């Protein structure tokens, strides 16, 4: 859920390090003096490389630890701290913007890298400037910006990172980052609601459709899961008794969901959420993809009649013609993986166009009739003779071969 502006302000106002904006009217004299000193010491912090050690030893509250503290600035900080408030550790609020700019633009790229990577300046800046100012400054400094993004990513400051993206006009990045959050929501109802809230984000047109689909899918899965869970435990629905469900359908990919519905809800009409036809239509599933999924599910159930009807289509003449969006070679593959009996396999091997492929598939799956018929059609006596050894002794196939071989009407080519 997106935080409201008020929440954001609360966050900033409640953080340990008070933020100042350049418009801040709160102008106590003492704070001004301390801030001036702060600015001076910041300058040296930023410009002098060889004072690393000194800087290192100062704690985040401004108090020096151990060895020598920096002359001037920090000493007066710790002395003037009335409470433990660290809000004095901030840059000058009255200083014009141009002076602030000087701190960073003086740095060469590798100095920036050095300092940014060590995180010192970033943490400092982040805690001491209002984010509007910070974002604005960063926008014009590509290197610093990249490092800030890296820093926020590492510390997992998701909200701030998203605000930054939004401020920079990187709306798609922001949308994707927001969407990514769904992965950490385990409760399916909460996740569904979250996905719904993502739909209105500024995705690219293609991505927007995917996010919408993602939401719709989960919404359906929740309904199906509830219904089927009940049906299964009720003990009265046969298919669930014969084939108990091995896993929940929640958060499964679309095609897996389709397979599930082709398995458990095949005969349902388009009216239900779980009907394969409805899913196909709602999610605009390609014909090939639908076909191979339905084929696999029905084959698993050994529903050969269903498999058969996948292929029949009636044209306006009333004839049925075998057509398949999938090559018959692949069809045989799927059927074989689901342990289809030879008679079924044979049917489809016979429909393979390519003769060589047909023969090799037939041999592989022991579809003897097809091999025999093909060799007969090729009038190849040698091959037929060779194949005789591969069929069962005294089998019908053997007799068939013998009949053909002794058929004098066939003009064998060899």
* Span of 72-80, 102-110, 349-357, 386-394 interacting with another protein by CB under 8 A: 102-110
Q: Which is nearer to another protein, 195 or 401 (CB)?
A: 195
* Span of 143-151, 229-237, 345-353, 360-368 interacting with another protein by CB under 8 A: 143-151
Q: Mark residues 203-242: x for contact with another protein by CB under 8 A, - for none.
A: ---xx--xx-xx--x-------------------------
> Would you count residue 342 as binding another protein (CB under 8 A)?
no
Q: Mark residues 47-76: x for contact with another protein by CB under 8 A, - for none.
A: -------------x----------------
> Would you count residue 120 as binding another protein (CB under 8 A)?
yes
Q: Which is nearer to another protein, 119 or 229 (CB)?
A: 119
Q: Which is nearer to another protein, 61 or 373 (CB)?
A: 61
- Residue by residue, what is the 3-state secondary structure of the chain? CCCCHHHHHHHHHHCCCCCECCCCCCCCHHHHHHHHHHHHHHHHHHHCCCCHHHHHCECCCCCECCCCCCCCHHHHHHHHCCCCCCCCCCCCCCCCHHHHHHHHHCCCHHHHHHHHHCCHHHHHHHHHECHHHHHHHHHCCHHHHHHHHHHHHHCCCHHHHHHHHHHCCCHHHHHHHHHHHHHHCCCHHHHHHHHHHHCCCCCCHHHHHHHHHHHHHHHHHHHHHHHHHHHHHHCCCHHHHHCCCCCCCCCCCHHHHHHHHHHHCCCCCCCCCCCHHHHHHHCCCCHHHHHHHHHHHHHHCCCHHHHHHHHEEECCCCCEEECCCCCHHHHHHHHHHCCCCHHHHHHHHCCCCCHHHHHHHHHHCCCHHHHHHHHHHHCCHHHHHHHHCCCCCCCHHHHHHHHHHCCCCCCCCC
Q: In the bound complex, what is the minimum distance in angstroms from residue 253's beta carbon to another protein? A: 4
* Span of 105-113, 310-318, 349-357, 363-371 interacting with another protein by CB under 8 A: 105-113
Q: Which is nearer to another protein, 207 or 306 (CB)?
A: 207
> Would you count residue 180 as binding another protein (CB under 8 A)?
yes
Non-local (6+) Cβ contacts of 286 within 8 A are none
> Would you count residue 105 as binding another protein (CB under 8 A)?
no
> Would you count residue 42 as binding another protein (CB under 8 A)?
no
312 DSSP β-pair partners: 322
> Would you count residue 300 as binding another protein (CB under 8 A)?
no
Q: In the bound complex, what is the minimum distance in angstroms from residue 382's beta carbon to another protein? A: 28
Q: In the bound complex, what is the minimum distance in angstroms from residue 321's beta carbon to another protein? A: 23
* Span of 163-171, 286-294, 359-367, 386-394 interacting with another protein by CB under 8 A: 286-294
> Would you count residue 155 as binding another protein (CB under 8 A)?
yes
Q: In the bound complex, what is the minimum distance in angstroms from residue 291's beta carbon to another protein? A: 9
Neighbours of 77 (CB within 10 A): 23
Q: In the bound complex, what is the minimum distance in angstroms from residue 317's beta carbon to another protein? A: 31
> Would you count residue 389 as binding another protein (CB under 8 A)?
no
Q: Distances in Å between the alpha carbon of 336 and those of 288, 306, 373? A: 19, 16, 22
Neighbours of 61 (CB within 10 A): 15
Instruction: Give the separation between CA 157 and CA 176, rounded to whole angstroms.
Output: 15
Q: In the bound complex, what is the minimum distance in angstroms from residue 325's beta carbon to another protein? A: 11
Of 119, 202, 229, 325, the one binding another protein (CB under 8 A) is 119
> Would you count residue 126 as binding another protein (CB under 8 A)?
no
Q: Which is nearer to another protein, 147 or 298 (CB)?
A: 147
The dihedrals phi and psi of 20, each to the nearest 5 degrees, come to -115, 145
Q: In the bound complex, what is the minimum distance in angstroms from residue 284's beta carbon to another protein? A: 8
Q: Which is nearer to another protein, 67 or 108 (CB)?
A: 108
Q: Distances in Å between the alpha carbon of 107 and those of 56, 90, 103, 146? A: 19, 20, 8, 15
> Would you count residue 254 as binding another protein (CB under 8 A)?
yes
Binding interface with another protein (CB under 8 A): 60, 108-110, 113-114, 117-120, 123, 143, 146-147, 149-151, 153-155, 176, 179-180, 182-183, 206-207, 210-211, 213-214, 217, 251-255, 283, 285-286, 288-289, 292, 330
């Amino acid at each position: 859920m997106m935080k409201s502006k008020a929440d954001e302000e609360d966050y900033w106002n409640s953080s340990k390090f008070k933020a100042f904006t350049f418009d801040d009217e709160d102008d106590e004299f003492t704070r001004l003096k301390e801030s001036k000193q702060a600015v001076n010491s910041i300058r040296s912090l930023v410009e002098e490389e060889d004072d690393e050690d000194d800087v290192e030893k100062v704690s985040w509250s401004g108090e020096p630890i151990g060895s020598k503290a920096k002359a001037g600035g920090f000493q007066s900080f710790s002395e003037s701290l009335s409470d433990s408030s660290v809000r004095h550790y901030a840059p000058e609020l009255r200083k014009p913007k141009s002076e602030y700019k000087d701190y960073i633009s003086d740095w060469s790229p590798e100095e920036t890298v050095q300092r940014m990577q060590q995180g010192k300046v970033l943490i400092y800046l982040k805690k001491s400037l209002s984010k509007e100012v910070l974002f604005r400054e960063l926008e014009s400094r590509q290197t610093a910006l990249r490092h800030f993004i890296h820093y926020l990513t590492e510390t997992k400051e998701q909200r701030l990172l998203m605000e930054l993206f939004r401020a920079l006009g990187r709306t798609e990045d922001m949308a994707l980052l927001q969407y990514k959050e769904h992965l950490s929501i385990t409760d399916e109802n909460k996740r569904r609601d979250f996905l719904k809230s993502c739909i209105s984000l500024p995705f690219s047109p293609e991505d927007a459709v995917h996010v919408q689909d993602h939401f719709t899918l989960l919404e359906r899965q929740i309904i199906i899961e509830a219904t089927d869970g009940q049906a299964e435990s009720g003990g009265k629905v046969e298919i669930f008794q014969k084939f108990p469900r091995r896993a929940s359908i929640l958060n499964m990919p679309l095609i897996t969901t389709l397979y599930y519905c082709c398995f458990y809800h095949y005969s349902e009409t388009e009216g239900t959420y779980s009907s394969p036809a409805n899913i196909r239509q709602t999610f605009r599933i390609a014909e090939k993809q639908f076909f191979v999924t339905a084929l696999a599910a029905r084959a698993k159930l050994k529903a050969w009649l269903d498999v058969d009807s996948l292929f029949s289509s009636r044209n306006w003449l009333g004839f049925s013609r075998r057509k398949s969006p999938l090559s018959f070679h692949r069809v045989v593959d799927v059927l074989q993986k689901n342990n289809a009996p030879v008679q079924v396999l044979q049917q489809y091997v016979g429909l393979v166009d390519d003769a060589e492929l047909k023969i090799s598939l037939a041999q592989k799956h022991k579809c003897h009739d097809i091999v025999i018929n093909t060799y007969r059609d090729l009038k190849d006596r040698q091959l037929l003779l060779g194949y005789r050894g591969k069929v069962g002794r005294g089998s019908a196939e053997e007799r068939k071969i013998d009949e053909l071989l002794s058929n004098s009407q066939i003009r064998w080519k060899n």
